[in-house]
Structure 1
Amino acid sequence: MMSESPVAPRVRFAPSPTGYLHVGGARTALFNWLFARHFGGTFILRIEDTDFERSSEDMVEGILEGMRWIGLNWDEGPFYQSKRLDLYRQTAEKLLASGHAYYCFCTKEELEKRRAEAAAAGRPPMYDRRCRQIDPAVASARKASGEACAVRFAVPEEGSTSFDDAVFGKVEFANAEIEDFVLLRSDGIPTYHLSVVADDIDMRLTHIIRGADHISNTPKQVLQYRALGAPLPVFAHVPLILGPDKTRLSKRHGATSVMAYKDMGIVPEAFRNFLALLGWTPGPAYKDREIFNSEELVQLFSLEGISKSNAVFDNDKLAWFNTEYIRAYSAEKLLPLIEEEWGKTGFTPERPKEEILSTIDLVKPRARNLKDFAGAFRAYFCDRFEYDPAAVAKFLKEESVRHLLAELASRYESSAELSEASAEQTLRAFAEEKGIKAGALINGARVALTGQAVAPSLFAVMVNLGRERTVRRLALAPRIA
């Protein structure tokens, strides 16, 4: 099988730190991580930071932070291309020595002029290979004299370059359509095409799993592998991630930075599960399942499950995954995540840990995200909370209801116990006595106790808050603004 390997695979994730870790990059990293873990291989992290103007330490840390949040631990690295320039220059020298590369003395201005002329004439704006005609000895002498030059790969002028892709099958490009691409710029800085091949060979990578937008780069890399006498890795190009409108995922569809989803209150395992299913399926035996923990994803992952079709990033689906994971998490597992949200808002709960844990269990079925625990659910954890104006306007607009709730408070204060059954019995008996529908008191009490129109069972809330808080908050009903 294409995804199998006689030796433990070596794969890599190689982001460029010109931006934070985005959704597409995170999915690529996840697929490589799952593949390595499935086969007991090695997952390597390489930072492709040779774009010195746009790369930054902050971006590197942002990428590492995003990977840690998703739970993607690497086995080797991070390696930085900026510290491996000698390797790239040595690789270029090998290609020059074997006749697979040549010096190009064309200036940037000359190249731009010729491209414009070609475009005006309806020709592909490709390099015309004129420096390829220079005798190598003459070219070397010109370089030795100090003339600025780049190094270009000499693409065969006839035939084609092909490779077998684990996702798309055989992919072939006519060599006539491949430009003599630059390997080293005149300042000695490598291009992506050179550095990626030199690193992948040096790091003994067996599989290259990356986005389908790299397919057009692959023939240039295959040519270098062959010129250097190195065995080809298995290439697997994964489908792109699109927005709901089927265009390339971008900021107009919402957040694309992975850490933005953390800030939205998404649980990391929910994001990982959602991401894994963007362009991959575990097989027909699991067609009715969508929730998979990390161990299951590792066990089931294979390149054969990757789709040829582009994936669609559905924010509503991610929200569904998040609610499912929050419900499934134990209170103990949720607590540190919730505490992080509380820390962001400067919120301190006013209840002991045991009560906090039982409260998390009470409200988590209604949580959309972790931010709810610092927002809509604040009333469950302390007495400093705000009332939703819409809920007040809807359920506490009648002064009579407010005063009845205050009177109901005294009934609870004098009752022998406060259980769900006794709390409900007390309220319904009080409503019957006053000739009012129980629903009006239930809805009003819910707002008075939690500040919200929607909450778990009112009587479960009362028991959770305890008699003292329940009585105090109901007694305040007439004064709620």
Structure 2
Amino acid sequence: MKEVRTRFAPSPTGYMHIGNLRTAIYEYLIAKSQGGKFLLRIEDTDQARFVEGAIEVILKTLSIVGLKYDEGPDIGGPFGPYVQSQRKSIYKDYADKLVKLEGAYYCFCSKERLESSKKNNDSTSDPFKHMCHCKNLSVSEVSEKLKSNEPYVIRQRIPEGGTTSFHDLVYGTVTVENSELDEGVLLKSDGLPTYNFANVVDDHLMEITHVVRGSEYLSSTPKYNLLYTAFGWDIPEYIHLPPIMKTAEKKLSKREGDASFEDFISKGYLPEAIVNYIVLLGWNPGSNEEFFSLQELEKSFNTEGLSKSPAIFDLNKLKWMNGEYLRRLSLEDFNALALPYYKQVLDSKMDFKKISALLQKRTEILSEIPEKVDFLNSLPDYDIMLYVHKKMKTDVANSLNNLRAAKEAMSTIETWDLANIEENLANLISKLEVKNGQVLWPLRTALSGLESSPGGALELAELLGKTETLRRIEVGISKLTNTAS
């Protein structure tokens, strides 16, 4: 059986779009689930769109998410180079060979003629097709023009009639009328290939068995197959993916301000959660299971689960999944991830691990942490109505009385730890003959100044220390006293 070989072939044009990453993940899983090879190839023939540093972004992204490629630009392999701009001579040789095989022809049309053709086409609603007379030139006429060093491109020769069909593992059989296909440029005048030509040559030479790309390439695939056929090469398996949508009508797009992979990482999403969520955007595992490690996916992934329906990117679902991943971490691992965020707003003397114990179950994204804990650094100005809680049966009057009692009782604690704080307040509540909430709610409000906080009154008091706890209670008493008077 032929070894499965897939490739991720991004263009170095900047960020890693979520759709690009999904393609990479599927390519990787198709190979690894069948014991095959996964390659990385950089498609940089469109130098006008090249962005400095973009290749490094690609390499870094694949490393972060754990997609280890078997061959690539930085590690080499038997079919290198793996950067298209370094394969220029290869494309020229194959383009000339294709001309001899009558799958392509030399086009000497000037820019002026091309522009004139486009202007004439503007009056119709049909897509522009270059009607080139160069394909009818005799061998001697072509030879003469080449000897005269006339500028040229090499165009694909499309059969004038009939249809071209191919089978896609997601969309089934797709058939296109050859008359609808444009005889596009394969090799530009500067000697660089277009994407349409380079990807076919490279996929053949690198022995790629499965090609995964977006459904927008469905209409172009017949042109690729005509190239394969002209060369007499085996045609790979095709897997075209539907788009990832922001809404039912709108695609996810960085241009529209939608987040890239790097954006999600900088916001505090875990790579494992992002990969898990993206995999499910267009793939059904055949069960109700939603959580998969990359290693589990390498074993369970199959192309039968791929859907041809567009997937809606639900940010709330990603946040929920990320929160679940955070909760499944050990306390030590969560604390290590949270540490840089704590240091943005908190004094280094704080017991970060105790904060993590309170925060881990209440955090969905790591970047939320500073706003969740900055009250520990300084008490925010808060509305006195926070003390009024119907369920806890607290109002301004009883909150004031109970805060005064709490301050007096807590000032007697000698060893300030959670156990002693809990015992002290339990005795106070028993003495006052009130419900727990009538003491703990006002106390928690005074210590946090927030409607909700990562911990209750006892935990916050321990974290803040005796001096700061008593000071904040006094602030609360002052606020309540001014209101009561």
TM over 0.5: yes
1:235 aligns to what SS in structure 2? strand
When normalised by structure 1's length, the TM-score is 0.87
- Cα offset, 1:412, TM superposition: 3.0
Query: How many Å separate the matches in 2 of 1:247 and 1:138?
Result: 50
Contact 1:209–1:235 under 8 Å retained in 2:
yes
- Cα offset, 1:364, TM superposition: 0.6
Range with bigger deviation, 106-115 or 390-399: 390-399
- Residues 471 and 26 of structure 1: CA distance in aligned 2, closer, same or farther (over 3 Å): same
1:198 counterpart (174, 197, 201): 201
Query: How many Å separate the matches in 2 of 1:200 and 1:114?
Result: 33
Amino acid at match of 2:370: A
Deviations 1:314-334 (A, max 9, x none): 111111101111111112222
| Number of the residue aligned with 2:300 | 300
- Residues 254 and 109 of structure 1: CA distance in aligned 2, closer, same or farther (over 3 Å): same
- Residues 77 and 429 of structure 1: CA distance in aligned 2, closer, same or farther (over 3 Å): same
| Number of the residue aligned with 2:161 | 158
1:100 matches 2:103: yes
1:47 counterpart (42, 62, 87): 42
Range with bigger deviation, 448-457 or 163-172: 448-457
Amino acid at match of 1:325: Y
Extract unaligned runs of 5+ from structure 1.
1-5
Query: How many Å separate the matches in 1 of 2:198 and 2:274?
Result: 32
Contact 1:102–1:136 under 8 Å retained in 2:
no
2:386 counterpart (391, 394, 406): 394
- Cα offset, 1:363, TM superposition: 1.6
| Number of the residue aligned with 2:2 | 7
1:127 aligns to what SS in structure 2? coil
Contact 2:6–2:27 under 8 Å retained in 1:
yes
Contact 1:255–1:261 under 8 Å retained in 2:
no
1:72 counterpart (67, 75, 78): 67
2:410 counterpart (412, 428, 448): 412
- Cα offset, 1:462, TM superposition: 4.5
Query: How many Å separate the matches in 2 of 1:132 and 1:375?
Result: 67
Range with bigger deviation, 441-450 or 189-198: 441-450
| Number of the residue aligned with 2:112 | 109
Query: How many Å separate the matches in 2 of 1:61 and 1:440?
Result: 58
2:98 aligns to what SS in structure 1? helix
| Number of the residue aligned with 2:483 | none
- Residues 462 and 207 of structure 1: CA distance in aligned 2, closer, same or farther (over 3 Å): same
1:57 aligns to what SS in structure 2? coil
**Correspondence 1:201-220 to 2 at 5 A:** 201-220=204-223
Query: How many Å separate the matches in 2 of 1:182 and 1:47?
Result: 20
Query: How many Å separate the matches in 1 of 2:202 and 2:26?
Result: 20
Contact 1:184–1:191 under 8 Å retained in 2:
yes
Query: How many Å separate the matches in 2 of 1:16 and 1:176?
Result: 30
Contact 1:385–1:451 under 8 Å retained in 2:
no
Amino acid at match of 1:360: S
1:363 counterpart (340, 359, 362): 359
Contact 1:100–1:153 under 8 Å retained in 2:
yes
Query: How many Å separate the matches in 1 of 2:52 and 2:384?
Result: 49
Amino acid at match of 1:83: Q
1:28 matches 2:23: yes
Deviations 1:310-353 (A, max 9, x none): 1110111111101111111112222332234457x4866324xx
Range with bigger deviation, 394-403 or 321-330: 394-403
1:427 counterpart (425, 432, 440): 425
Query: How many Å separate the matches in 1 of 2:372 and 2:439?
Result: 21
Query: How many Å separate the matches in 2 of 1:187 and 1:69?
Result: 36
**Correspondence 1:253-264 to 2 at 5 A:** 254-264=257-267
Query: How many Å separate the matches in 2 of 1:391 and 1:216?
Result: 61
1:461 aligns to what SS in structure 2? helix
Deviations 1:430-474 (A, max 9, x none): 357568765354233324444543235525615862xx7155323
Query: How many Å separate the matches in 2 of 1:346 and 1:478?
Result: 24
1:187 matches 2:160: no
- Residues 356 and 23 of structure 1: CA distance in aligned 2, closer, same or farther (over 3 Å): same
Query: How many Å separate the matches in 1 of 2:30 and 2:280?
Result: 14
1:237 aligns to what SS in structure 2? strand
2:64 aligns to what SS in structure 1? helix
Contact 2:346–2:377 under 8 Å retained in 1:
no
Query: How many Å separate the matches in 1 of 2:256 and 2:447?
Result: 38
- Residues 390 and 126 of structure 1: CA distance in aligned 2, closer, same or farther (over 3 Å): farther
The alignment-based identity, stated in percent, is 34
| Number of the residue aligned with 1:3 | none
- Cα offset, 1:417, TM superposition: 6.6
Number of aligned residue pairs: give it.
463
Deviations 1:144-194 (A, max 9, x none): 212111100111112211111111111111111111111011122211111
- Residues 418 and 123 of structure 1: CA distance in aligned 2, closer, same or farther (over 3 Å): closer
Query: How many Å separate the matches in 2 of 1:166 and 1:11?
Result: 15
Amino acid at match of 1:229: G
Contact 2:447–2:457 under 8 Å retained in 1:
no
Contact 2:265–2:271 under 8 Å retained in 1:
yes
- Cα offset, 1:102, TM superposition: 0.8
Deviations 1:15-40 (A, max 9, x none): 11113101100111111112222122
Contact 1:116–1:125 under 8 Å retained in 2:
no
1:327 matches 2:322: no
| Number of the residue aligned with 1:455 | 453
1:102 aligns to what SS in structure 2? strand
1:59 matches 2:54: yes
Amino acid at match of 2:453: A
Amino acid at match of 1:310: P
- Cα offset, 1:278, TM superposition: 0.1
1:384 matches 2:384: no
2:72 aligns to what SS in structure 1? strand
| Number of the residue aligned with 2:32 | 37
1:476 matches 2:475: no
Amino acid at match of 2:204: I
Deviations 1:104-129 (A, max 9, x none): 11122321221221341555421113
When normalised by structure 2's length, the TM-score is 0.86
Deviations 1:257-284 (A, max 9, x none): 111111221111111111000000111x
Extract unaligned runs of 5+ from structure 2.
74-81, 389-394, 480-485
1:99 aligns to what SS in structure 2? coil
Query: How many Å separate the matches in 2 of 1:475 and 1:445?
Result: 12
Contact 1:105–1:131 under 8 Å retained in 2:
yes
Query: How many Å separate the matches in 2 of 1:358 and 1:38?
Result: 42
Contact 2:372–2:453 under 8 Å retained in 1:
no
Query: How many Å separate the matches in 2 of 1:253 and 1:316?
Result: 18
Amino acid at match of 2:387: F
Amino acid at match of 2:348: P
Deviations 1:288-319 (A, max 9, x none): 22122222222211111100111110111111
Q: What's the Cα RMSD here? A: 2.9
Contact 1:239–1:310 under 8 Å retained in 2:
yes
